[in-house]
Structure 1
Amino acid sequence: MAAGGAIDTKAQAPRESQREEPLAWRLDRIPVQVWIVGFVLLIMPLVANNFWLFQVFGWTFILGMIALSLMFLAGYGGMVSLIQMTVAGIAGYMVAILGTSGMAQISLGLPFWVYIPAAIIVAAAFGTLVGALAVRTEGIYTIMITLAVAAAFFYFSRQNYEIFNGYSGFNLVLPPRLFGVDWRQPVAFYYLSLGCAVLCYCAVLYVSRSPFGLALQATRDGPRRMAALGYDVTAIRIAAYTFASVIAAIGGILLVWQNAQISPGTVGIPAVIDILVIAVVGGMRRPIGPFIGALIYVLLRTFSPDVLTGFGLSGERFKTLIGLGFLAIVFFSPDGVLGLWDRWKERRRRRADPLRQGGRS
């Protein structure tokens, strides 16, 4: 009976924590830094030109969402997946195939309220299916399986002309004109991508604190113990792939709208590796990390060719700078930029402690 009582007490604990959970989302508990960043992002169109709004920040939010899906799997689930860009590409392809594009003979021309949910569902189903295969492996084998699937889809989309239009892909894939707004205009697209990024970020935060998210993190730390407690470890991991695939699909839809086209190069191996680099550089421990990594990547990708050209080097070598930056960050901080920030704060705290102790004495 004593053991049974202990089990009942533990069973009641999650209910009590769930009652307290909404307190964490109260407005007065949001840090001041978050309010400042949110205010700056809201007024950004007043101070930034169209290039920065559309190309820099829009692209940052999109890549950040796709990398966020990888961070959710790797950070909370301990599963490094390399299919997130592939999932995003499938969602983009479904928008082009089911909606309208310059390839009228292939695109079906369905209304947006049909093809957008359908694109997310198809991409999430693909991610779930691959996840069901990948979760039965660990470590390097998970990476290799997901990389093999990503490479297979790249070659399939490049060689298939009946559905994916082969090497050329689709052009003139534009967002629907909803509420009389052209959502591909820089300011409109900036707020659209910003809104989607905030929703995905909040969704990851909420899920990470939910019973499912806590079970996923416990599965990451002790899968055998969770299985011994009666949890279906495989089902939890597959569900994580489904949730992450939905986030990646949203990023993929925005990506095809931003570029107004999609081709096999969008889901190529370099793009797949870029998402991994973005997630690692930003940091895998917190959801804000992928967006920081995406901003660093976009800035380097956008401006490093001009810098290299100024030094008489080929602008095509911009990936050398990205690679060197990646190596430097990983070498000095395995937790990415956020790890460097935490170490800097820890040093400040240690320097301040002796002064405080001296003041008390």
Structure 2
Amino acid sequence: MADVTSHTQVVRARNWMDAVPPAYWVLGVILLVIPAFVSDFVMFQIMGWSYILGIIALSLMFLGGYGGMVSLAQMAFAGFAGYMVAIFGDSAVTAISQGWPWWIVIPLALFLTVLVSVAVGWLAVRTEGIYTIMITLAIAAAFFYFTRQNYELFNGFQGFNSVLPPQLFGVDWRGPYAFYYLCMFWAVLGYAVVLYVSRAPFGLALQGVRDNPRRMAALGYNVTAHRVAAYAFAGVLAGIGGILLTWQSSQISPGTVGIGPAIDILVIAVIGGLRHPIGAFIGAFIYVLLKTFAVDVLVALGLAGERFQLVIGLGFLIIVFFSPDGILGLWDKYRASRKRDPLTGKDRGDSPL
């Protein structure tokens, strides 16, 4: 009996490994060894920032792609988690920060973020379409102004600085190498969990709610509960990204949760594509490259460097114009064109040759 059980486990492991596309294994190896070939700036600023924004955009992708709910409050959730780490943990603002140990602060910050996301979701799921976007945008704006005007709890416009990751196992987790692998770990874990949840009963039910909420309600599913639970799950992802973002910049301020960053997360998710989790990280990587090097390109062309947002906006418009599904949609069109016979216009697979 033990031999049969062990054989079954081996078969399942092999099936799982065979299910992963070869391109994913190649990408994984590249991401693991890339620190040996790039500078600290690329590891910490480019790749680390891409992972972090990708995790936050992944929370929006889960809501929009699988739940059909577009939320502009994801950066507010991320910022809220960052503020909780600064308030309950250590920072340079000792008059407010409590200095609690990290193993209490981080779970507490994520727990409170989930509560806030559930409250926002409970309000937002009672609307649809543009109204959902507007109510989440209003909540994001309200949180931004509240943090900027509140000095007793959020320290107003200055926010908190010197918010650093804990020193574990004698490792400086804000160092380029350690921080790179820390962000990559949470990015890969978030990606895998979203894929798993999307194929689990809850994820399948959520997609059913997205496609036809009335039919799902007639089948006995609680549509509102599924949508609110999706907000809670997305809140965890955004909270993890917010904590990493706070550690990367070693500070959290109202500018982190402003209207601009909230819209940037939507731009990232749309550029990559909302139909698959990998799109969030593709969009984040493209956004970070534009955000980092657009100024240099404009200056080299003799233009005003302050107009780098124009380059980002034009890139967004071009991608969406040619493919509403983002980069993933462009990739699908490319693959379809490769399969299509240029003479007959039919799929090569349909040809007897």
Bin of the TM-score, shorter chain as denominator length: over 0.9
Q: Give the one of 81, 87, 91 matched to 1:101.
A: 91
- Preserved CA contact (<8 Å) 2:339 2:349: no
Q: Which residue number corresponds to residue 131 of structure 1?
A: 121
Q: Which residue number corresponds to residue 313 of structure 1?
A: 303
Name the TM-score, length of structure 2 as normaliser: 0.94
* Residue 194 (1) aligns with residue 184 (2): yes
Name the SS of the counterpart of 1:43 in structure 2. Answer: helix
The whole-number CA distance in structure 1 between the counterparts of 2:304 and 2:273 is 30
Deviations 1:187-223 (A, max 9, x none): 0000000000000000100000000000000000000
Q: Which residue number corresponds to residue 39 of structure 2?
A: 49
Q: Which residue number corresponds to residue 271 of structure 1?
A: 261
- Runs of 5+ consecutive residues of structure 1 not aligned to the other structure: 1-21
Q: Which residue number corresponds to residue 109 of structure 2?
A: 119
Name the SS of the counterpart of 2:340 in structure 1. Answer: helix
- Preserved CA contact (<8 Å) 2:206 2:227: yes
- Preserved CA contact (<8 Å) 2:339 2:348: no
Q: Which residue number corresponds to residue 321 of structure 2?
A: 331
The whole-number CA distance in structure 1 between the counterparts of 2:13 and 2:224 is 32
* Residue 156 (1) aligns with residue 146 (2): yes
- Runs of 5+ consecutive residues of structure 2 not aligned to the other structure: 1-11
How far did 1:351 drift? Answer: 2.7
The whole-number CA distance in structure 2 between the counterparts of 1:177 and 1:108 is 18
Name the TM-score, length of structure 1 as normaliser: 0.92
Aligned CA distance change for structure 1 residues 231 and 28 (closer, same or farther; 3 Å): same
Q: Which residue number corresponds to residue 160 of structure 2?
A: 170
Q: Give the one of 193, 199, 203 matched to 2:193.
A: 203
Q: Which residue number corresponds to residue 144 of structure 1?
A: 134
* Residue 348 (1) aligns with residue 342 (2): no
Q: Which residue number corresponds to residue 74 of structure 1?
A: 64
The whole-number CA distance in structure 2 between the counterparts of 1:80 and 1:354 is 35
Q: Which residue number corresponds to residue 4 of structure 2?
A: none
The whole-number CA distance in structure 2 between the counterparts of 1:283 and 1:159 is 36
Question: What code does the residue aligned with 1:345 have?
Answer: R
- Preserved CA contact (<8 Å) 2:271 2:319: yes
Q: Give the one of 277, 281, 289 matched to 1:299.
A: 289
Question: What code does the residue aligned with 2:57 have?
Answer: A
Question: How many corresponding residue pairs?
Answer: 340
The whole-number CA distance in structure 1 between the counterparts of 2:276 and 2:203 is 13
Q: Which residue number corresponds to residue 233 of structure 2?
A: 243
The whole-number CA distance in structure 2 between the counterparts of 1:24 and 1:299 is 37
The whole-number CA distance in structure 1 between the counterparts of 2:277 and 2:317 is 21
Percent identity, aligned pairs only, is: 64
Deviations 1:53-107 (A, max 9, x none): 0000000000000000000000000000010000000000000000000101100
Deviations 1:207-260 (A, max 9, x none): 000000000000000000011111110000000000000000000000000000
Aligned CA distance change for structure 1 residues 192 and 355 (closer, same or farther; 3 Å): closer
Q: Which residue number corresponds to residue 8 of structure 1?
A: none
The whole-number CA distance in structure 1 between the counterparts of 2:217 and 2:188 is 34
How far did 1:124 drift? Answer: 1.1
Aligned CA distance change for structure 1 residues 147 and 29 (closer, same or farther; 3 Å): same
* Residue 87 (1) aligns with residue 81 (2): no
Name the SS of the counterpart of 1:93 in structure 2. Answer: helix
How far did 1:315 drift? Answer: 1.3
How far did 1:29 drift? Answer: 2.0
The whole-number CA distance in structure 2 between the counterparts of 1:223 and 1:181 is 49
Aligned CA distance change for structure 1 residues 229 and 174 (closer, same or farther; 3 Å): same
- Preserved CA contact (<8 Å) 2:53 2:284: yes
Q: List structure 1 segments (4+ residues) > 4 angstroms apart after TM superposition.
A: 22-25, 352-358
The whole-number CA distance in structure 1 between the counterparts of 2:281 and 2:79 is 19
Q: Give the one of 199, 209, 217 matched to 1:219.
A: 209
Deviations 1:24-73 (A, max 9, x none): 96112211100000000000111111000000000000000000000000
* Residue 230 (1) aligns with residue 217 (2): no
Q: Which residue number corresponds to residue 18 of structure 2?
A: 28
Question: What code does the residue aligned with 1:221 have?
Answer: D
